[in-house]
Amino acid sequence: MSRGLSFYVNNTAPSLTITIRRENIPIDLTGATVNFQMFPSGGTILTVSSPCVILAPPVNGQVRYDWGVSDLSVVGSYLCNLLITYANGTFENTETTSLVVLDSIPPTL
């Protein structure tokens, strides 16, 4: 999740599909849980912390996050990352990326 993302306010699609890698190799997510986390730029309080779906097979390191109804309800700039909790109780965060929630879809001409 290194490049910036942008969505329009109140959208719930498309879902995010992400391959989690370490040194360009997919992380084995067998027995793990993964949470999508989002917080306002410059802030420290999470506005979203919700589980991702780990796609099969988990050794491919792929997850999908399906937006909740209120996840993108406030226009602004955010930072987001994934929190991976492994079966043995250890955890790590992925790198943070930017996310912008835009006010409205531009009018078509």
- Does 27 have pLDDT greater than 90? yes
- Does 15 have pLDDT greater than 60? yes
Stated length of the chain:
109
- Does 60 have pLDDT greater than 60? yes
Taking residues 13-17, report their average pLDDT.
96
- Does 107 have pLDDT greater than 80? no
DSSP string across the chain:
--S-EEEETT---SPEEEE-EETTEEPP-TT-EEEEEEEETT--S-SEEEEPEEPSSGGG-EEEEPPPTTTT-S-EEEEEEEEEE-TTS-EEEPPPEEEEEESSPPPP-
> What residues does each domain of the chain span?
5-102
- Whole-angstrom CA distances from 50 to 23, 27, 76 are 26, 20, 19
Residue type, 41: S
pLDDT bracket for residue 108 (50, 70, 90) = low
Give CATH for domain 5-102. 2.60.40.1220
Asked whether the beta carbons of 96 and 41 are under 8 A apart, the reply is no
Q: Give the angle 52-88-53 at the CA atoms, nearest 5°.
A: 10
- Does 105 have pLDDT greater than 90? no
72-101 tens-digit pLDDT: 999 999 999 999 999 999 999 999 999 999
